[in-house]
Amino acid sequence: MENYLLEYLQSVGIVDNVVAARLPCEVCGSTDHKTLVDQVEIGTDRFGRLPVVGCANCGFVYQSPRFNKEFYDTYYDKYYRMMLFGDNQPEKGFLLDQVRRGEHLRRSIARYLPEKGRLLDVGCSAGGLMVSFAKHGWEVLGTDPDSGYVNFGKNRLGLRIEAMSAEDMVLPDAHYDLIIITGSLEHVFDVNRVLQLCRKACAPGGLLYIEGRALNYGILKGFFSHNHRRYLTLHSIELLMLRHGWSTVLSTEDPLCGPSRPGGVHVLGRASQPLDAQALQREIESGRRDRLDELARKLAVLKGVA
């Protein structure tokens, strides 16, 4: 393993049984990419080398090299919240913000929803976004790899939450009327595996809502975080949805979850037929893509630009 990757692992505190590999684009499979950002934040006022690249074919922005799944399972269960907040229990302000964001989201997309239904929140943290739906008669389930936050949501809020990585979810087929992934799709190890599981669990005509915020929020802060495996845009979310079987019904930078997390992009899709590789490439060539020269100009303000 290259020295800069070993230095990063030592800074995180996980060094045993870790391997790294360079990845093709998770959207289109291309191996043609350009390094956009070389340095990312790995702690308060600490930066290290962990490259972020852009796909030359579709413009998808992602971290590469990437480590093995066992590294991320351990990191998100034991280290992630401690590194961010210094505690493995959510603070009151964090939880209240989750609850408010869930109420904003329910109201923002109400015209697309049945009056009652079944909700799955992937990467739900303590589950606060589900509270508003539960109060309005929805059956809810959340999953998250952080056992501390999961136990808090189960014991303090009485929510049904299961501690597991998104890739390991065991879900009933064709069951959920709404699946939400608010920010956590930028953290998962295998985005395509997660969306495959979600599509199988989505009811006929069901909806998928994805919020991405890592790219625009990084621009607002002036640097990228090591925590994000990918940096989603409206176009890249739309392409991932098309690949796995949702057609876009709403795509916006308007704050559907409220104003507390600036820089978010939001896409709502309805279950349809997935596109094969050729059809997806036609979508990319027709203009549903991000252009690297435009992205590079946006990212020029960041610390660590290559």
244 within a domain of the structure (yes/no) = yes
- How far apart, in Å, do the first and last CA atoms of the chain sit? 21
Note whether 265 and 212 are within 8 A (CB).
yes
Q: What is the pLDDT along the chain (306 residues), one digit of tens a residue?
A: 899 999 999 999 999 999 999 999 999 999 999 999 999 999 888 999 999 999 999 999 999 999 999 999 999 988 887 777 666 778 889 999 999 999 999 999 999 999 999 999 999 999 999 999 999 999 999 999 998 899 999 998 899 999 999 999 999 999 999 999 999 999 999 999 999 999 999 999 999 999 999 999 999 999 999 999 999 999 999 999 999 999 999 999 999 999 999 999 999 999 999 999 999 999 999 999 999 999 999 999 999 998
Domain co-membership, 28 together with 169: no
65 within a domain of the structure (yes/no) = yes
At 85 the pLDDT is 64
At 183 the pLDDT is 94
291 within a domain of the structure (yes/no) = no
Domain co-membership, 28 together with 52: yes
Domain co-membership, 190 together with 73: no
198 within a domain of the structure (yes/no) = yes
Strands of the 176-182 sheet, one edge to the other? 161-163, 139-144, 118-122, 176-182, 202-212, 265-271, 246-252
DSSP-derived secondary structure letter, 79: I
Domain co-membership, 265 together with 183: yes
Domain co-membership, 253 together with 279: yes
Domain co-membership, 123 together with 184: yes
Note whether 122 and 102 are within 8 A (CB).
no
267 within a domain of the structure (yes/no) = yes
CA of 277: how far to CAs of 81, 187, 235, 281, 288, in Å? Answer: 37, 24, 16, 6, 14
Note whether 48 and 226 are within 8 A (CB).
yes
The CATH number for 151's domain is 3.40.50.150
55, 85, 115 — which closes off a domain?
Answer: 85
68, 85, 102 — which closes off a domain?
Answer: 85
Domain co-membership, 99 together with 40: no
HSE (CB half, 13 Å, CA atoms) of 197?
A: 18
Q: Name the token pair of 152.
A: 């808090």
CA distance 6 to 105: 41
Domain co-membership, 245 together with 139: yes
CA distance 187 to 173: 24
Domain co-membership, 138 together with 192: yes
At 253 the pLDDT is 97
58, 85, 112 — which closes off a domain?
Answer: 85
- Given the structure tokens 């929803």, which residue do they identify? 113
Domain co-membership, 32 together with 81: yes
Domains: count for the chain: 2
135 within a domain of the structure (yes/no) = yes
139 within a domain of the structure (yes/no) = yes
Domain co-membership, 184 together with 158: yes
Taking Cα atoms as reference points, which of 140, 221, 227, 139 lies closest to residue 183? 227
Q: List the domain range (segments joined by +) for residue 140.
A: 92-220+227-285
302 within a domain of the structure (yes/no) = no
Domain co-membership, 124 together with 248: yes
Grouping H, G, I as helix, E, B as strand and the rest as coil, residue 277 is helix
Q: Name the token pair of 254.
A: 């308007």
The predicted model scores a pTM of 0.96
CA distance 185 to 217: 15
